[in-house]
Chain A
Amino acid sequence: MSTSFPLFPPNASSVATEVDLLYLFITAISAFFVVVVAALVVIFAVKFRRRHPAEVGADIHGSLALELTWTFIPFVLAMIMFFWGADLFYRLARPPADSMEVFVVGKQWMWKVQHPEGVREINELHVPVGRNVRLTLGSEDVLHDYSIPAFRVKMDVVPGKLTTMWFKATVPGTYHLFCAEYCGTKHSGMIGQIYAMEPQAYEAWLAGGSGGPAVPPAQAGEKLFTGPNYACSTCHKADGKGPAPRLAGVYGSQVELADGRKVLADDNYVRESIMVPSAKVVKGFQPIMPPFQGVIAEEQVIQLIAYIKSLKADGPAQ
């Protein structure tokens, strides 16, 4: 058993220092108030200790000036912490547009990963340093949470929807990956390693092909789309002449629904339209598509979304 312990996890992402600074700021404020309260209580208890049994305290009822002081100062400090924390959160919650996208699916009790080039890994994640990486997270069963303490990031993985998180690794190394949302028997075994690598090393690792022939998710999605199992392309025709909408250019656009609403076609819209198509019917179409909830695996949904995302409005449709 080691006899030393560090106070901080490794600092290995673009936000780690910022998070540590906020932590130190709140720690300093907290330490100050703990010392003040402890000092007041102990000093008063000693200085004003009861000298004879019948003694009573001074006849003091309060002080408006003091009440306002210890209302106002904590309020101001709390607001500083709010804005600092909110600013950090706002940036952490919105992946930069130039991020490379990696797909992660959690299931009891493992993490399955697929890189944009198609390389797969389990309970590990290799990423290049210096590049924004966006994870799109799905769950096949219960809640999980993808947590990388060295990067100071964490996100719940929620069944029934896709969530995202992002980071930019800065220091090459091997770091802990934890499932941070309780998920049953082997929750504490749902762990792994994050390998942050120099870009060349990452490229070499990608090319190394440890997991068989790499098919990029969008290509795998195309196979599913046109293949016989789901046969999406029989209705979603490339020329738009089928009974279902043409999908080129849909991703990222505003879609007008039969009930007059307009919604943004993002990951979760596409996911829902596959799983429960009747939830949001596109204007001018009949709700004839069968639901794929329970039929199609989360990983395949992610591949289909990657494929639909790759269909540009003016490009060749399929």
Chain B
Amino acid sequence: MSDAVERRNSYLDAPYGVAAWLLTKDHKRIAILYLISITIFFAVGGMFAAGIRLELLTPKGDLWTPDLYNKLFTLHGVVMIFFFLIPSIPATMGNFLIPIMCGAKDLAFPRINLLSWYIYVVGAIVTLAAVFSGGLDTGWTFYTPYSSVSSQSAVTTAAIGVFITGFSSILTGLNFIVTVHRMRAPGLTWFRLPLFVWAQYATSLVMILGTPVIAITVLLVVAERSLHLGFFDPARGGDPVLFQHLFWFYSHPAVYIMILPGMGVMSELVSAVSRKQVFGYSFVAFSSLAIAILGFLVWGHHLFVSSQSIYAGLVFSIITMLVAVPSAVKTFNWAATMYKGSVTWESPTWWVVGFMGLFTIGGLTGLFLAAMGMDIHLTDTYFVVAHFHYIMVGGAIMAYMGGLHFWWPKMIGKLYNDNAAKASAVLVFVGFNLTFFPQFILGYMGMPRRYHAYPDEFQVLNVLSSAGSSILALGYVLPAFYLTYSIFKGQRAPANPWGAAGLEWTIPSPPPTFNFDEEVVVTEPAYNYKPATEVHVG
């Protein structure tokens, strides 16, 4: 196939024009729309974080007013969680790859896929309207009765923004589940699916089952705020702890919405950079489902000191401890995958190694918080902040960056500067640890979260953290340059630049509009890095 023919067939080429992109039903173009949108929000959320770290350089609250500081950390959380992390991997790589990995021409419902992007955009605009009409100062957790009674900020607008965005999640999850069930190519059995698809499937279940609960919960806050109905405000007969149950019933599983897709990316990357079958395929696959299911039964570990019953707390604690098991299973299987592999030292490996280190620390520090007697001292301190950043940034975003670098040649059809990418991975790893590791110590020292000013003895660690965040920022800004540069000046990518297994590497880079020229028939397991004669399942 000549270059000219390949270009004409690519999904990136015809039809051109803004309208063609904004009305596209192509899952790959929608993935690009999402990629652009979430990148903007990543930058916005990052700027809020910069505001936080600048204030915390000094013990006194001397840079921003208390109200502005409270709005900065609230909006950092809201933007990063609802508008970057939750859609990040599913809406970009999930959208782009699930149909291709299933051997299909598109998702099951292409129009609904486009609709989910528009819903995301509308939700984002409404939330931005809240930012510009007074901001939001409730914390991303919207705890009542502060959010429903006391706060003077634009809680109603922001809550409606989050409510709307939830539908985008639900529709994406629905689309993925139906696609995985109904659109797999002949011969592509469940146990031949790439583990990325398994992880996305588990994530989609959580999205569909959990998101309606947060939607209802924020609506109840709006109803209490504007109609003065009593749900959570004790002065009106409500119960503030009820809000915490409802909120975390979604928001704990939401942690798995953020990390499970990252685990899926890791399974693909570890296998590809080692050119080796994922060790213990079925254990890795089922551990995703185990995490998704157990993830729904642990929300009460956020409420150990909330006056929740001791006995409820005991149940939540033990189930939370159980989540450690499938997470450990995955980590060891990834490490074992590299054993006797053919491990490349190209940039995706650097992100993989970074993820393994940071995610392991993030997971293990969850054990401190799951142990109830320990959690009393640590909850609501910087230890918690450090822990969830290790999971969400060290885990989910590290995997997102790794996936982006791994599939970039496929998605865009261009090669980027691999050395620049390695430098970025190193900067992120070093900057991240310098930013967040001191926060574990701060937390054990007792520094509470969401503090605009703090006692002098916490300053050294806070300065370290702020210094680290500038390195971290550099690590994230760098890819914006070399990836953008690659779009215009990069070398054209071959169909399979990594020598990786997987249906997406059998088609041209970038893929043609309908992905496959002929119907796909799958005759071998995933990650089949050997002569394709033997069929092995599991």
Does A259 count as interface, using CB distance less than 8 angstroms? no
Q: Once the chains are docked, how many angstroms separate the CA of A259 from the CA of B441? A: 53
B336 touches which of A66, A189, A294 (Cβ 8 Å): A66
**Interface of B: prevailing SS:** helix
A34 → chain B, closest Cβ, in Å? 5
**Cβ contact within 8 Å between B364 and A33:** yes
Q: Once the chains are docked, how many angstroms separate the CA of A241 from the CA of B55? A: 64
**Cβ contact within 8 Å between B444 and A8:** yes
**Cβ contact within 8 Å between B277 and A60:** yes
**Cβ contact within 8 Å between B324 and A78:** yes
Does B454 count as interface, using CB distance less than 8 angstroms? yes
Does B450 count as interface, using CB distance less than 8 angstroms? yes
Does A37 count as interface, using CB distance less than 8 angstroms? yes
**Cβ contact within 8 Å between A186 and B66:** yes
**Cβ contact within 8 Å between B460 and A5:** yes
**Cβ contact within 8 Å between A7 and B444:** yes
A142 and B305 in contact, given A22-B374, A44-B339, A294-B235 (Cβ under 8 angstroms): no
A82 and B499 in contact, given A40-B335, A182-B449 (Cβ under 8 angstroms): no
Does B150 count as interface, using CB distance less than 8 angstroms? yes
**Cβ contact within 8 Å between B377 and A154:** yes
Q: Once the chains are docked, how many angstroms separate the CA of A86 from the CA of B449? A: 24
Does A45 count as interface, using CB distance less than 8 angstroms? yes
**Cβ contact within 8 Å between A182 and B360:** no
B295 → chain A, closest Cβ, in Å? 16
Chain B residues contacting A153 (CB-CB under 8 Å) are 376-377
Q: Once the chains are docked, how many angstroms separate the CA of A23 from the CA of B374? A: 7
Q: Once the chains are docked, how many angstroms separate the CA of A153 from the CA of B380? A: 12
Does B177 count as interface, using CB distance less than 8 angstroms? no
Q: Once the chains are docked, how many angstroms separate the CA of A147 from the CA of B456? A: 18
Does A108 count as interface, using CB distance less than 8 angstroms? yes
Does A113 count as interface, using CB distance less than 8 angstroms? no
A67 touches which of B239, B283, B339 (Cβ 8 Å): B283
Nearest B residue (CB) for A276: B237
Chain B residues contacting A19 (CB-CB under 8 Å) are 373-374, 376-377
Q: Once the chains are docked, how many angstroms separate the CA of A90 from the CA of B149? A: 34
| Tier of interface size on chain A | 35 or more
Does B199 count as interface, using CB distance less than 8 angstroms? no
Q: Once the chains are docked, how many angstroms separate the CA of A4 from the CA of B331? A: 36
Tally the A-B contacts, defined by beta carbons under 8 Å. Answer: 320
**Cβ contact within 8 Å between B380 and A147:** yes
Nearest A residue (CB) for B450: A182
Instruction: Give per-residue flags for A48-85: 1 if the beta carbon is below 8 A from chain B beta carbons, else 0.
Output: 11110111111111110011001100110011011011
Nearest A residue (CB) for B464: A5
B533 → chain A, closest Cβ, in Å? 12
Does B356 count as interface, using CB distance less than 8 angstroms? yes
Q: Once the chains are docked, how many angstroms separate the CA of A88 from the CA of B372? A: 8
Q: How many residues of B contact A (CB 8 A)?
A: 104
**Cβ contact within 8 Å between B373 and A188:** no
Does B353 count as interface, using CB distance less than 8 angstroms? yes
**Cβ contact within 8 Å between B373 and A154:** no
Does A254 count as interface, using CB distance less than 8 angstroms? no
Does A6 count as interface, using CB distance less than 8 angstroms? yes
**Cβ contact within 8 Å between A53 and B235:** no
A30 → chain B, closest Cβ, in Å? 4
A299 → chain B, closest Cβ, in Å? 16
Does B275 count as interface, using CB distance less than 8 angstroms? yes
Q: Which of A156-164, A210-218, A226-234 contacts B (4 or more CB under 8 A)?
A: A156-164
Nearest B residue (CB) for A8: B444
Q: Once the chains are docked, how many angstroms separate the CA of A3 from the CA of B149? A: 43
Does B145 count as interface, using CB distance less than 8 angstroms? yes
Which residues of B328-387 are within 8 A (CB) of A?
328-329, 331-333, 335-336, 338-345, 349, 352-353, 356-357, 360-361, 364-365, 367-368, 370-377, 379-381
Q: Once the chains are docked, how many angstroms separate the CA of A30 from the CA of B366? A: 10
Q: Once the chains are docked, how many angstroms separate the CA of A91 from the CA of B373? A: 9
B56 → chain A, closest Cβ, in Å? 11
Q: Once the chains are docked, how many angstroms separate the CA of A40 from the CA of B335? A: 6
A184 and B335 in contact, given A61-B281, A87-B373, A89-B310 (Cβ under 8 angstroms): no
Does B459 count as interface, using CB distance less than 8 angstroms? yes
**Cβ contact within 8 Å between B307 and A30:** no
**Cβ contact within 8 Å between A37 and B381:** no
**Cβ contact within 8 Å between A89 and B150:** no
Chain B residues contacting A141 (CB-CB under 8 Å) are 145, 150
**Cβ contact within 8 Å between B331 and A158:** no
Q: Once the chains are docked, how many angstroms separate the CA of A84 from the CA of B375? A: 12
Nearest B residue (CB) for A5: B460
A147 and B146 in contact, given A34-B357, A34-B361, A89-B376 (Cβ under 8 angstroms): no
Does A97 count as interface, using CB distance less than 8 angstroms? no
**Cβ contact within 8 Å between B151 and A30:** no
**Cβ contact within 8 Å between A2 and B444:** no
Does A269 count as interface, using CB distance less than 8 angstroms? no
Does A41 count as interface, using CB distance less than 8 angstroms? yes
Instruction: Give per-residue flags for B503-538: 1 if the beta carbon is below 8 A from chain A beta carbons, else 0.
Output: 000000000000000000000000001100000101
B335 touches which of A22, A41, A89, A182 (Cβ 8 Å): A41
**Cβ contact within 8 Å between B459 and A2:** yes
Chain A residues contacting B283 (CB-CB under 8 Å) are 62, 67
B342 touches which of A5, A7, A34, A55 (Cβ 8 Å): A55
Does B314 count as interface, using CB distance less than 8 angstroms? yes
**Cβ contact within 8 Å between A74 and B325:** yes
Does A179 count as interface, using CB distance less than 8 angstroms? yes
A85 and B372 in contact, given A67-B280, A79-B321, A184-B70 (Cβ under 8 angstroms): yes
Chain B residues contacting A78 (CB-CB under 8 Å) are 321-322, 324-325, 367, 370
Nearest A residue (CB) for B151: A184
**Cβ contact within 8 Å between A37 and B461:** no
Does A149 count as interface, using CB distance less than 8 angstroms? yes
Chain A residues contacting B281 (CB-CB under 8 Å) are 61-62
**Cβ contact within 8 Å between B276 and A74:** no
Instruction: Give per-residue flags for A123-167: 1 if the beta carbon is below 8 A from chain B beta carbons, else 0.
Output: 000000000000000000111010101101111101111010000
Instruction: Give per-residue flags for B435-458: 1 if the beta carbon is below 8 A from chain A beta carbons, else 0.
Output: 000000100111011111111111
Chain B residues contacting A184 (CB-CB under 8 Å) are 70, 137, 146, 150-151
Does B13 count as interface, using CB distance less than 8 angstroms? no
A88 touches which of B149, B239, B374, B455 (Cβ 8 Å): B374
B450 touches which of A79, A161, A187 (Cβ 8 Å): A187
Q: Once the chains are docked, how many angstroms separate the CA of A223 from the CA of B218? A: 43
Chain A residues contacting B336 (CB-CB under 8 Å) are 40, 63, 66
Chain B residues contacting A159 (CB-CB under 8 Å) are 145, 233-235, 240
**Cβ contact within 8 Å between A183 and B146:** yes
**Cβ contact within 8 Å between A180 and B448:** yes
Q: 17 A-B Cβ contacts within 8 A? A: A7-B444, A40-B339, A44-B343, A48-B338, A50-B344, A58-B340, A70-B329, A78-B322, A82-B318, A84-B371, A85-B373, A89-B304, A153-B377, A159-B145, A187-B66, A189-B453, A294-B235
Which A-B residue pairs are the 7 nearest by beta carbons?
A: A160-B234, A149-B446, A88-B373, A85-B371, A57-B276, A89-B372, A57-B341
Given A38-B357, A49-B345, 14 more pairs with CB closer than 8 A: A37-B357, A49-B344, A50-B275, A50-B345, A56-B275, A61-B536, A67-B329, A71-B325, A86-B318, A90-B310, A92-B373, A156-B305, A159-B240, A185-B66
A-side interface residues toward B, CB under 8 Å? 1-9, 18-19, 22-23, 26, 29-30, 33-34, 37-38, 40-42, 44-45, 48-51, 53-63, 66-67, 70-71, 74-75, 78-79, 81-82, 84-94, 108, 141-143, 145, 147, 149-150, 152-156, 158-161, 163, 176, 178-189, 276, 293-294
